[in-house]
Amino acid sequence: MTERRRWPRRQVAWSVRMSIDGCLRICGKAVNASLHGLRLAIDDMADLRAIREGARCEVEVSLSDGGGRFVRAGEVRHVGQRDVGLVIAAPLPAALVPPGDPAPEVTSAAASRRTPLMSWLRSAGLNWPRLDN
């Protein structure tokens, strides 16, 4: 099977708090990350059922061993049986997830798949309410 991902993924173990559409707050764990994506494991099935593909979200990631934290805005792209896939507008810190090179056959197709949300996020400067309010 051909790899469809734009960026290489790395296994991680980060605690995450996610805010969906500015109100619903969910806790989970990031299990893998790429330059512009996260896959989150969600243990609470009620929380998982409340998540819809296409929803805007903000994630606050706490790195393991007290290594700091970062916040990113994104969009829910996949909801599985126990996990959620997110596309992240601003790149994750390069020191944590090396950027790599996108697959050449995916690069041109990726430009045509940009969603209006991602364009809006970039133009809005990602000024969403913070999770730690």
Map out the domains of the chain with their CATH numbers.
10-124 (2.40.10.220)
Residue pLDDT tens, the chain, 133 long: 555 666 788 999 999 999 998 788 999 999 999 999 999 999 899 999 999 999 999 999 999 877 789 999 999 999 999 999 999 999 998 888 766 655 444 444 444 454 555 554 555 454 444 444 3
pTM for this entry: 0.70
Within 8 A by CB and 6+ apart from 31, the residues are: 11, 12, 13, 39, 40, 41, 83
